[in-house]
Amino acid sequence: MNIDDPIKAAEALIQSEDRQRSPVTEHIAEAIAALEIPGAALVSGYLDRRRAENRDLLISVLRDELRKLSERFDRLSDKHKRFLQRDYAELVADGLRKAENLRAKERVIRIAAILGRAAEDGPSAALDETEEMMRIAMALDDIDVTVLKEFVQTQADILKENNNRAVFNVVNPLWKKKRPCPKMHEGELTSVCGKLESFGLIIRMDKNNSVIGPDEMSPYALLGKGERFVRYIEYHA
């Protein structure tokens, strides 16, 4: 398999959509001009450049991720080959769409890593979940990801040992002993945890008052989806 095949197919899909959709960047520039914001004339060009740069970054990182897989393409199952030659281009196109208008390059790189994991997993990858992982990657900033990774470091064993379930009597004492990001102010951590919970990556647990004091933050528990998200974004071929 030529590693460019699914990428080129995805780019063709995007280019076709570009020809059909309304010029969004021009509408944004017009809106900013109407507000008499200085430099409004430069906005359209800037947005177009950012879209192109984000696409180029995602494609560059993804090509690196796919290189080793391409080298052993002949040894993959027929089902895996069909996945890469058919379904995968749609996933890449979706990733390119999602990456276009992101401000933070780190989020673009995480989307590329998720696509790399999906290519490696092949037909066993749930397409809807891969799309969901990319959607989450668009929304989480570096602080959110750092906190989630600490949840994985401190609580992944709980999931492994308890049939992928968070356990009240295990999470409470562990939270008391080793809370994720202990140097982070509780107010900030509560805000981040609320955001992670909204994506189904962690869940707020009832507080065991005999373990955690009344003035202390309620514990949160890692969910399987949170552990999988970190696995996706940390993928390297």
Q: How many CB atoms lie within 10 A of CB 139?
A: 12
Looking at residue 42, what is its pLDDT? 55
C-alpha 95/C-alpha 218 separation (Å) is: 36
Looking at residue 35, what is its pLDDT? 52
The b-or-e profile of 94-133 (16+ CB within 10 A means b, else e) is bbbebbbebeeeebbbbbbbbbbbbbbebbebeeeebbbb
Domain-wise residue ranges, the chain: 4-134, 142-233
pLDDT tens-digit profile, the chain (237 residues): 555 577 777 767 666 555 444 455 555 455 555 555 565 555 555 677 888 899 999 999 998 888 888 888 889 999 998 898 888 988 998 999 999 889 999 999 999 999 999 999 998 888 999 999 999 999 999 999 999 999 999 999 999 998 888 888 899 999 999 999 989 999 999 999 999 999 999 999 999 999 999 889 999 999 999 999 999 999 875
Stated pTM of the model: 0.83
Which DSSP string corresponds to 126-183? -HHHHHHHHHHHHH--HHHHHHHHHHHHHHHHHHHHTTT---HHHHHHHHHHS-SSTT
Cβ(122)–Cβ(39) below 8 Å: no
Q: Decide if domain 142-233 falls under CATH 3.30.70.
A: no
Two tokens, residue 24: 């969004």
